[in-house]
Amino acid sequence: MQSIDTLLLPRYIIPVEPGTALLEEHAIAIHHGRILAILPQHEAIRLYCASAEHRLPKHVVIPGLVNAHTHAAMNLFKGLADDLPLMEWLNDRIWPAETRFVSQHFVRDGTQLAVAEMLRSGTTCFSDMYFFPEETARAAHEAGIRATVGLIVVDFPTVWARDAEEYLAKGLDVHDSCRHLPLVRTAFAPHAPYTVSNDPLERVAVYAEELDVRIHMHVHETADEVMQGRARYGQSPLQRLERLGLLSPRLLAVHMTQLETAEIEWFAGFGAHVVHCPESNLKLASGFCPVARLLENGVNVALGTDSAASNDDLDMLGEMRTGALLAKGVAGSARAVPAAQALRMATLNGAQALGLDHQIGSLVPGKSADMVAINLQTIETEPLYHPISQLVYAAGRRQVSDVWIAGRQVLKQGALVTLDEERLLRRAAEWRERIRNG
């Protein structure tokens, strides 16, 4: 028998590749952080002797969920400014709160709280955009979660930098400092077309090419953004980004609720990615991303939660369900975004958007062992006819029991392994009092 690190023996495996595959009574053999083999359980028991064996007769195992857009530290603003449209939410509540409270300690504590919530709901990789990205990177590294840390750029001064020049310089330093962190990557994160002028955007395009990293940006989030862009630059924000060299397979265009049919076909030709944040878009009444039409035109669409300040949770299982249902309503077709497609958007499509699909996003031999076990033998998900559909339309984050990242268990029977839950709750309460009392 071959000695290996870990053997998982679940009821079902949904590998995501191919898209509707469902394996029953199969095992996943893991060694040195990677998937060694997926094979029938009786063969696995005969072939492998594992240091750790997990029998999961009630569970489905899926690839780790990829949250392709969030602002993790903003968990400390959860519920602070509800029921407001985007620009009022930003201008009157969020940006003033950030000016007053955001610091290195805020970002570290907020990110740790967010990471704990994400791990407990099956997210194994997140793409972030916020100030003090070095703190986000450190928190992710210490918790053992995979992260793409956004190197934020805006024109105006904030607590992190004075101007675009300083944002870029600091971002490059963070990029260099993350090279030794095995689960952390970076991406340039210009906030939005209306907060970043032409020269910094052109430099971002050049730096991204030189460093071979992604560009993560809010684009066409609201009708007002598009209208203002046309008034100021004489063209839509997307057209302006194309002129400045940002439309390419490197771009993660977040939200994209304002798109005409011709724009969708044109955008598809650049190979850029769309990150759909359905619950945040609904709460801020920003608009509806035409997910089905984007997919029909070959655009890779991933899913993100946005921040807990505009969504109130970082639950990618919930985002899958909302995304699938909303897509059907927008398209006027019950066939739009079926369950398997929604799961792919939350896993492999997110990995592809981040340039990580060779490592994560599906369960195939050779890839990193980023996996989630979800108990489907519960009142909420019985009787069980179709596990993929039940996972997307009925399962909830409280059914997530175990999570592995690069073969390391970070959630065990619902308990966090790498983070101190009691400490996180104390720190959250301390920040609540500080922010509430001004």
The pLDDT averaged over each successive group of 10 residues in the chain (438 residues) is 97 95 97 98 97 98 98 96 88 92 97 98 98 98 98 96 97 97 98 97 98 98 95 97 98 97 97 98 96 98 97 97 98 98 98 98 98 98 97 98 98 98 98 92
| Cβ atoms of 339 and 388 closer than 8 Å | yes
Question: To 5 degrees, how large is the angle CA 391–CA 216–CA 206?
Answer: 145
pLDDT at 438: 76
pLDDT at 430: 97
Angstrom distances, CA of residue 398 to CA of 69, 201, 413: 22, 41, 11
Q: Which residue, among 206, 213, 210, has the nearest Cα to 251 in the 3D structure?
A: 213
Give CATH 2.30.40.10 domain extents, the chain.
Answer: 2-63+369-406
d(CA 28, CA 6): 8
Q: What is the dihedral of CA 165, 171, 173, 177, to 10 degrees?
A: 180
Q: What is the reported pLDDT for 372?
A: 98
| pLDDT score recorded for residue 396 | 97
Q: Which fold is adopted by the domain 65-353? A: TIM Barrel (3.20.20)
Structure tokens at 262: 């011709």
Residues of the chain with CATH 3.20.20.140: 65-353
Spatial CA neighbour of 419 closest among 114, 130, 184, 126: 114
What length does the chain have? 438
184-190 and 146-153 beta bridge pairing: parallel
Distance CA 136, CA 127 (A): 10
Is the separation of the CB atoms in 418 and 144 below 8 Å?
yes
Tokens of 98: 């950030």
Q: How far apart are the first and last CA of the chain?
A: 63
Give the span between the Cα atoms of 435 and 438, in whole angstroms: 5
Whole-number pLDDT of residue 329: 98
CATH architecture of 2-63+369-406: Roll (2.30)
Q: What pLDDT, on a 0 to 100 scale, did the predictor assign at position 85? A: 86
Q: What is the pLDDT of residue 207?
A: 98
